[in-house]
Amino acid sequence: MILCIACSAEDGIPKKYLNDCKSVLNELMCENDLVFGGSNRGIMGVAYRAAKKNQRKVIGVCPKYYKGSLSELECDQEILTEKVLESTEIMIRKCDAIILMPGGLGTLYEFFLAIQGIICKEHTKPIVIYNSCGFFDDILDYLIKIKDKKFITEETFSSFSVANNSTELKKFISAIYQ
């Protein structure tokens, strides 16, 4: 299976997220290939190194603005795009499932674009938020709020899953295989 890992590409993030995600990614990348934003920094770098260590296929996709980061890597396939939107669309198209890990605006952008793609019937890829150390709690609370106030439907809210620990994440991944 090819996993799109959407996550931080920043080095200065708190160690608790980095260490937790490193443990999870080392397990996930034993059996799965990787499509990602093409950086060797932050959690994104952890995903890349875990995939390479396990001799998995790696597809790096990023806009030309970040081509310096991509050139530092040894990907099986490198895809440079003109725009961020195009990069995200390619990652979604090339993966079998989307896993969100702690990250910033780019991660949220990828998340919301993936959900909107499901709403518009552009894809049916499973989306799993890995809520490492409660990182996504505030976003999840906001999504519950807008669901409860009828700004999004229950169907939209149900278009993604949340894993609060590595056991739950592995369970979701195993279900995707079947």
Instruction: Give the count of domains, the chain.
Output: 1
Is 178 among the domain residues?
A: no
Is 142 among the domain residues?
A: yes
pLDDT at 174: 86
**Minimal CA–CA distance to 30: which of 47, 10, 6?**
47
Which structural domain range is residue 134 located in?
2-173
pLDDT at 109: 96
Q: What are the φ/ψ torsions at residue 110 (nearest 5 degrees)?
A: -65, -40
- How confident is the model over 49-70, as pLDDT tens digits? 999 999 999 999 999 988 777 7
Is 156 among the domain residues?
A: yes
80: helix, coil or strand?
Answer: strand
Q: Output the six-digit token pair for 119.
A: 């709403």
- How confident is the model over 125-141, as pLDDT tens digits? 999 999 999 999 999 99
- pTM for the full model? 0.94
Question: What CATH number should be reported for the domain holding residue 121?
Answer: 3.40.50.450
**How high does pLDDT run on average in the chain?**
94
Rounded distance between C-alpha atoms, residue 98 and residue 38, angstroms: 15
Rounded distance between C-alpha atoms, residue 136 and residue 141, angstroms: 9
